[in-house]
A and B are shown apart, each in its own frame.
Chain A
Amino acid sequence: MTEMVHGTARAHAGDPVLPRWWRTVDKWAITCVLLLFGVGLLLGLAASPPLAARNGLPPFYYVERQAVFGAMALATMLVVSMMSPLLVRRIGVLGFAAGLVALALLPFLGTDFGKGAVRWYSLGFASVQPSEFLKPCFVVLAAWLMAAAQDVAGPPGRSVSFAVALVVVGLLAVQPDFGQAALVLFGWGVMYFVAGAPIALLIALAGAAVGAGAIAYNASEHFARRIDGFLAPDLDPRTQLGFATNAIQEGGFFGVGVGEGQVKWSLPDAHTDFIIAVAAEEYGLVLVLFVIALYAAIVIRSLWRLMRERDPFIRLAGAGLVAMFGAQAMINMGVAVRLLPAKGMTLPFVSYGGSSLIAGGLLMGMLLACTRARPQGEMSDVFGRGGR
């Protein structure tokens, strides 16, 4: 009767969301992220009790917080990875607008927690670092602009995205947060590279980056001290880097044993920037190589999947996101082994930090949304029609 009056209920055209998601998503990458998060919790158990003791909190306070934030981050990642690229783009652009406003208001409303750089909003129970959330959103926005520029007679998306990148970099340099600024520039450069930048221009840009570094070295004492520390031929063993190196050496191949590490008692940033040193000391080279392999697997797999992608927006966004993710991990670990100058940067999914974790989940979710398997018009290739 109802059907006669209202017509038949419409049958769903596509297949259900969850099975389709499970069929198309990069399950290996998700597995790697889950493993990384597990490693982070494991290391948090070792690295954060000294900090908790210093702040007069129960020993596993930071581990519990890490677990809560981690659950939120994983939920974010899964939800975002189920979105369509179009929705990702919309959220990215809106998120970028919100993030930019938050970043611009930092000097007035933010707090520096006594660390010398105003990067955080204090919410009482937790603090938020807007630049962490801005990074993936910036990549999405820039990818959208660049993809549009690829059309014949399209908008000048590359120049516009570069201008936006410079604004973001400027806001980050004011804090000062040269690490994040470099990361944003790097992400933009990767997208520009993938979008087909002329090689000569890339070389010129690299030169400009070196010049900017030289200026920052001369203008900022904070920056100069770190570079000097890096360039000094012999390492002062009482610096953070010295402790980190020492910890890696102490650990050897199989570590000094769970809970036996000493470096976490000396390093103020043992739970964030130098967590890999804690891993190296307590669990040895084995765990470190495992962590590196996990990051490498995520990056390489994602790039491999993106190579087959035909939609320029998805390709660019994915490349930018994965480059940022990989570069952040690389910089963090590169600092600990003195391949790079000291720069505060968290190890994605492993280091402690609510903003870092949830923003990492957002980034990874967007990346997973980009690397989902889609029909790519292989058939039309077979029939020689080219196209998309």
Chain B
Amino acid sequence: MIRRPLRPLARILAARAQGGDPGAIEAENLRLRNDARRDELRLRAEGRLFVMALCFLGAFTVIGARMGTLAASEPAEPRLAASGEAIRASRADITDRNGRVLATNLATHSLYAQPEQIVDAARAARELAAIFPELDEEALHRRFTDGRKFLWIRKTLSPEEMQKVHDIGEPGLLFGPREMRLYPNGRLAAHILGGASFGREGVHSAEVIGTAGIEKEYDAYLRDPALSGAPLVTSLDLTVQAVTEQVLGGGMRLLNAKGASAILMDVHTGEILAMASLPDFDPNDRPAPLTRGEAADSPIFNRAVQGVYELGSVFKIFPVAQALELGLAGPSTVIDTSGPMRVGGFSINEFRNKNFGKISLAEILIESSNRGTGRLALQIGAERQKEFLGRFGFLEPTDVEMVEAPTGRPLFPERWQELSTVTISYGHGISTSPLHLAAGYASLVNGGTRVRPTLLRQSGPQRGERLVSEETSKAVRTMLRQVVTEGTASFAEVEGYHVGGKTGTADKPRAAGGGYYEDKVIATFASIFPAHDPEYVLVVALDEPMETSGEEPRRTAGWTAVPVAAEIIRRTAPLLGLRPSVDAPPLPALTPASNG
């Protein structure tokens, strides 16, 4: 090939000499060079395109050949789950704070069939139906003979059932090893634990996944093989939980209540030592959720965490504490609670239309005066009240470690008007869960710093945001103690443990909307003990209780929730390691001997 020069200098010089146009010659030269280059590249590209075509042909051939070899080979054991990873069967235990087992695993077997291997399908179906009453012989026989290669029959077997199936002597019936979740304490702490079921299943193992409660919240943690089966240590105390559930159950029956809940919480660490919601269920056999009606009617509904209720006068401590904190009043400041009091067109009345007149701040709490806290709330104002309750966590779901926690979303008016301010001061117009209340009381009485409820064992006290001063916290404790010694919660006096607390008897709102029931209440008692230096908060709430020993049925918390709470404290305080501080009995006075 002739190489073309970059510039045909000989021709250009000649053209210049003759007065011609060298530009045209250069352009012509450039065109020729371009053409030559294109030809060269085209020839090279032709070869490379050919190589590409060969590569593609080769690749498609390889894929086709691979398809062919795969199609000619035998399939492996059939599998029934869709997944991206291997199944991890192990699941860590859950224990209480002292290492006592709440949830563990039990080795068992699943039963499956390979119909191709079955010798006598009719007999196998008949014998299996005899062992397992829930299996249908005809359906089983049909499935054994319809040509499928694989079939699950049972997810778990007891050892006796396994032996019986073994005795059929049918080679097509096979067992796969399984681990199943076991809750050895039955109904104990059922709502907290939740439940578990099988996830993805293979022949050789199956995944156990949490379906509710702490099992679901910590599902990934419990299944994490890197933790090599280290148990999840909760804050619960098995014995305290058992006592709480027992006493609460007894109280619920005696008082004909529809449901009940109780929370026992450490005021410094936020640890929940016991939390019960009745009616309950057995997590080994978790009932299905209701498909119709109120979710709250199902035993799987956790009243302590998911249920939000207008809890009534137990809220009165908050406007009182805020008034103290803001310096609007001291414990002995006298406030006029006399009627009538009209706010936003509604008349604010006391329980049974009493009239307390001019009483001190402490007495407002002791007597549970609606108008008293209402007047305080009007002084505080809507914005400061909302902000104060918000800092205690009353306006958002609790962040306790249960999947159900976000569903316990408090209800409060969007527009926080004057009337709302007044009603919220005595616990109406705002609905929260009992757990919210327990956390609020704990934050108020522990010296005034925020604690968040937790279900995991903690190593030390929580150092939360300061909500009220030490002095306010102390004054509040004194007043709560006075409610027990002088006020509505006199049944809460447990010798040696200095219980303090506040009662609340809230009329239930009508389900259909519009007003409140006359004869259906939620009775709540929020208590602290020992009142001078509180360690624990106990909240007991009873749904529609009725005490019938007297002439007319009594529904107030003082007659219902308070005795139940007192019994729980009486029995759990020693278990919690609290030393009763018994005042030494007065020495017998010297009696003058006059026998002489």
Residue numbers of A with Cβ under 8 A of B are 150-153, 190, 193-196, 225, 236-240, 242-243, 245-246, 248-253, 262, 266-268, 280, 284-285, 288-289, 292, 295-296, 299-300, 303-304, 306-307, 310, 312, 315, 319, 323, 326, 330, 333-334, 337-339, 386-388
Q: Are B63 and A334 in contact (CB under 8 A)?
A: yes
Residue of B nearest to A240 (CB): B84
Q: In the complex, A302 Cα to B94 Cα: how many Å?
A: 65
Most buried by A among B36, B39, B62, B71: B71
Distance in Å: Cβ of B47 to nearest Cβ of chain A = 9
B587 within 8 A of A: no
CA distance A170 to B295 in the complex (A): 50
Chain B residues in 8 Å Cβ range of A310: 38, 42
- With a cutoff of 8 Å between Cβ atoms, the chain B residues found around residue A190 in the complex are 52
Which of chain A's residues has its CB closest to B201's CB?
A: A238
Supposing A238-B202, A386-B36 touch, asked if A249 and B71 sit within 8 A by C-beta, the answer is yes
Contact among A151, A243, A306 with B79 in the assembled complex (CB-CB below 8 Å) = A243
Cα A252 to Cα B73 with chains together (Å): 8
Query: For the complex, what is the distance from the CA of A334 to the CA of B65, rounded to whole Å?
Result: 11
B72-88 residues at the A interface, CB under 8 angstroms: 72-87
**Shortest beta-carbon distance from B311 to chain A in Å:** 38
In contact, A288 and B52 (Cβ under 8 angstroms) = no
B46 touches A285 (CB 8 A): no
Least Cβ distance of A347 to chain B in Å?
A: 12
Assembled-state Cα–Cα distance A333/B12 (Å): 61
Determine if B35 is an interface residue (Cβ-Cβ < 8 Å).
Answer: yes
Whether B82 pairs with A303 at a CB distance below 8 angstroms is no
Q: Top 6 A-B pairs ranked by shortest CB distance?
A: A249-B75, A303-B53, A296-B60, A285-B71, A337-B66, A248-B70
Cα–Cα, bound, A292→B83 (Å): 28
User: What's the least CB distance linking A186 to chain B, in Å?
Assistant: 12
Asked if A239 and B84 sit within 8 Å, CB to CB, the answer is: yes
Could you tell me if B50 and A280 are in contact, using CB atoms closer than 8 angstroms?
Answer: no
Q: Which residue of A lies closest to B51 (CB)?
A: A193
Complex contact A300–B77 (CB within 8 A): no
Residues on B with beta carbons closer than 8 Å to the beta carbon of A245: 70
CB pair A289 B49 closer than 8 Å: no
Which residues of chain A come closer than 8 Å to B71, judged between CB atoms?
A: 248-249, 251-253, 280, 284-285, 288
- Measured between alpha carbons, how far is A315 from B36 in the docked complex, in Å? 17
Q: Which residue of the partner chain, among B37, B50, B70, B84, contacts A152 with CB atoms under 8 Å?
A: B37
Q: Provide the bound-state CA to CA distance between A20 and B78, in Å.
A: 56
Chain A residue at smallest Cβ distance from B68: A285
* Nearest B residue (CB) for A295: B60
8 pairs, CB–CB < 8 Å, chain A vs chain B? A196-B41, A240-B82, A288-B67, A292-B64, A307-B49, A319-B45, A386-B35, A388-B38
Chain A residues positioned under 8 Å from B82 (CB to CB)? 238, 240, 243, 266-268
Question: Hey, which chain B residues are within 8 Å of A300, CB to CB?
Answer: 53, 56-57
| Contacting residue for B76 out of A152, A246, A299, A323, CB 8 A | A246
Contact between chains at B87 and A238 (CB < 8 Å): yes
**In the complex the two chains form, is A299's CB within 8 Å of B53's CB?**
yes
Given contacts A225-B84, A242-B79, A252-B72, 15 further A-B contacts (CB under 8 A): A152-B37, A194-B48, A195-B41, A237-B79, A239-B85, A249-B74, A253-B72, A285-B68, A299-B53, A306-B49, A307-B49, A307-B50, A319-B49, A337-B66, A386-B39
Complex: A237 Cα to B84 Cα, angstroms: 10
* Distance between B176 CB and nearest chain A CB, rounded to angstroms: 13
Residues on B with beta carbons closer than 8 Å to the beta carbon of A296: 56-57, 60
Complex Cα spacing A61 to B79, Å? 28
Whether the Cβ atoms of B59 and A330 lie closer than 8 Å is yes
Nearest residue in A to B200 (C-beta to C-beta)? Answer: A238
Query: Within the assembled complex, what's the spacing in Å between the Cα atoms of A292 and B65?
Result: 11
Cβ B52 vs Cβ A339 within 8 A: no
Q: Contact between B67 and A289 (Cβ–Cβ < 8 Å)?
A: yes
A238-B83 CB under 8 A given contacts A151-B34, A152-B30, A312-B41: yes
Return the CB mask of B2-45 against A: 1 if under 8 Å, else 0.
Answer: 00000000000000000000000000001001111111011011
Question: Cβ of A315: which chain B residues have Cβ within 8 Å of it?
Answer: 42, 45, 49
Alpha-carbon gap, A54 to B506, bound state (A): 46
CB-nearest residue of chain B relative to A247?
B75
Report Cα–Cα, A253/B37, bound state, in Å: 52
With A194-B48, A250-B75, A386-B39 as known contacts, state yes or no: A339 contacts B62, CB within 8 Å. Answer: yes
- Residues in A with CB closer than 8 Å to B80 are 266
Identify which of A153, A196, A299 contacts B45 (C-beta below 8 A): A196
Complex contacts, A387 vs chain B, CB 8 Å: 35, 39
Chain B residues with CB under 8 Å of A150's CB are: 37-38, 41
Contact A337 B67 (CB under 8 A): yes
Are the C-beta atoms of A289 and B64 separated by less than 8 Å?
Answer: yes
Query: In the docked arrangement, what's the CA distance between A295 and B63, Å?
Result: 12
From B63, B74, B81, contact of A238 by CB (8 A): B81
Q: Which residues of A contact B41 (CB under 8 A)?
A: 150, 195-196, 312
Complex Cα distance A339/B68, Å?
13
Q: How far, in angstroms, from A306 to B76 measured CA to CA in the complex?
A: 45
User: Within 8 Å CB of B68, what residues of A?
Assistant: 285, 289
B347-369 interface code vs A (CB 8 A; 1 in, 0 out): 00000000000000000000000
Residue in A closest to B39 when the chains form the complex, CB atoms: A386
Chain B residues contacting A193 (CB-CB under 8 Å) are 48, 52
Query: A268–B34 Cα gap in the complex (Å)?
Result: 55
Chain B residues with Cβ below 8 Å from A266 are 79-82
Q: Determine if A303 and B75 form an interchain contact, defined as CB atoms under 8 angstroms apart.
A: no
Chain B residue with the shortest CB-CB distance to A190: B52
CB A103 to nearest CB in B, in angstroms, measures 27
Which residue of chain B lies nearest to A296 when distances are taken between CB atoms in the complex?
Answer: B60
| A246 B57 Cβ-Cβ under 8 A | no
In Å, the complex CA distance between A249 and B75 comes to 5
Chain A residue at smallest Cβ distance from B69 = A337
A197 to B72, CA, bound (A): 42
B79 near A238: Cβ-Cβ < 8 Å: yes
**With the chains together, A73 CA to B370 CA distance in Å?**
73
CB distance from B275 to the nearest CB of A (A): 33
Q: What is the bound-complex CA distance between A323 and B51, given in angstroms?
A: 12
Docked pose: A303 CA to B49 CA in angstroms? 6
B37 touches A249 (CB 8 A): no
For B46, the chain A residues whose CB sits under 8 A away are 307
Please report the C-alpha to C-alpha distance between residue A236 and residue B79 in the assembled complex, in whole angstroms. 10
A114 to chain B, nearest CB (A): 14
Cβ-defined contact, B66 with A339, below 8 A? yes
Residue of B with least CB distance to A197: B48
Q: Which residue of B lies closest to A342 (CB)?
A: B84
Do the beta carbons of B60 and A330 come within 8 Å of each other? yes
- Nearest Cβ on chain B to A29's Cβ, whole angstroms: 14
Q: How far is the CA of A195 from the CA of B46 in the complex (A)?
A: 10
- The smallest beta-carbon distance between B71 and chain A, in angstroms, is 4
**A103–B35 Cα gap in the complex (Å)?**
39
CB distance from A49 to the nearest CB of B (A): 16
Contact call A388/B52, Cβ cutoff below 8 A: no
Q: Could you tell me if A388 and B49 are in contact, using CB atoms closer than 8 angstroms?
A: no
Interface string of B155-196 (1 = CB under 8 A from A): 000000000000000000000000000000000000000000
Residue from B45, B52, B64, B85 in contact with A323 in the complex, judged by beta carbons closer than 8 Å: B52
Most buried by A among B39, B67, B80, B202: B67
Closest-by-CB residue of B relative to A337 is: B66
